[in-house]
Amino acid sequence: MGLSCQEPTTTLMSGPGPRQNKRERFLLGVERVREKEPPEVVLVQGDTNTVLAGTLATAKLHIPVEHVEAGLRSFDRSMPEEINRVVPDHISDYLFAPTNAAREYLLNEGIPDETIHVTGNTIVDAVFQNLEIAQRKGDALSRFSLTKGEYFHVTAHRAENVDDKSRLQGIFHGLQGIQTEFDIPVIFPIHPRTQKILFTFGISYDGIQIIPPVGSFEFLQLEANARLVLTDSGGVQEETCILGVPCVTLRENTEPPETIDVGSNVLAGTDADRIVMAARKMLESHCGRTNPFGDGKAGKRIVEISKTV
């Protein structure tokens, strides 16, 4: 099988709409593309609705499916992302697990060992490559009048946090608490939907520097140079671990538990007092640069395995 990079030839869906409608549209779109131009193999990556729909549509047409980032588990089935992880893992033909821990989760669920390949996480590849590009592309710190190591960087997007008034209020009260205690900027690139909900709930964000969404390179710069990152994103937890930046997770669970194991991350939930205490703990921990996610060559390994399909 030959692999090459090219511009997308098909857009399956775009624009706003209810999540269920998007899944249905994507599922139908994938089926039409697969029937018209059947591929030799399909790769899906992550835990999005498109991963779930793409895997289901492909498997129904008896085309091999490969799941990148297989075996990640939060063990919280109330999260839509957890379903989007588990189902593809159980119907994919090849599973690319980022770590040995992820492999063990898959084996414990009865998935055959011969279908699992520990490759490292492609997020390491992306961080190494994109950080170098980001450093050449511009200076996000200058744009937002920030100094390296003298600000906190925040992300929050998960529905269970931003759609729940008490949770979102707890997050912002916690952010205000750490801003008051440490007296350095708290920068929050906020999604328009999250900002709309913030206004709808009437939650105060005094002391928090709300900025529009930034591009991936600027985001990586803000992340890499922060004194501390607070997030509900699994990917950001991994990135901060790779970058050696301490992290506080605004959730009660995490799908990359390796970040907890190596001490780069701590779970705080959405209670304001716990968020402040967690920030203190991580700022005192002198987080090192232990990276359990691989050497930045996961993509190359995946390609080599895919060539044998």
Domain with 271 in it: 125-284
193: in domain: yes
User: Does residue 279 sit in the same domain as residue 134?
Assistant: yes
User: Does residue 54 sit in the same domain as residue 152?
Assistant: no
- The pLDDT score that the predictor gives to residue 128 is 92
User: Does residue 91 sit in the same domain as residue 148?
Assistant: no
264: in domain: yes
Verify whether residue 157 is a known catalytic residue.
yes
Q: Which residues of the chain have pLDDT under 50?
A: 1-3
- Per the CB < 8 A criterion, the answer to whether 257 and 240 are in contact is no
Give per-residue pLDDT as tens, 95-123.
999 999 999 999 999 999 999 999 999 99
- Long-range residue pairs from 195-203, CB within 8 A, at least 24 positions apart, any chain: 197/162, 197/163, 197/168, 198/168, 198/172, 201/165, 201/168, 201/169, 203/165, 203/168, 203/169, 203/172
Q: Which of 90, 157, 173, 191 is catalytic?
A: 157
12: in domain: no
User: Does residue 117 sit in the same domain as residue 221?
Assistant: no
Instruction: Look up the pTM and report it.
Output: 0.86
Give per-residue pLDDT as tens, 253-299.
999 999 999 999 999 999 999 999 999 999 998 656 679 999 999 99
User: Does residue 180 sit in the same domain as residue 95?
Assistant: no
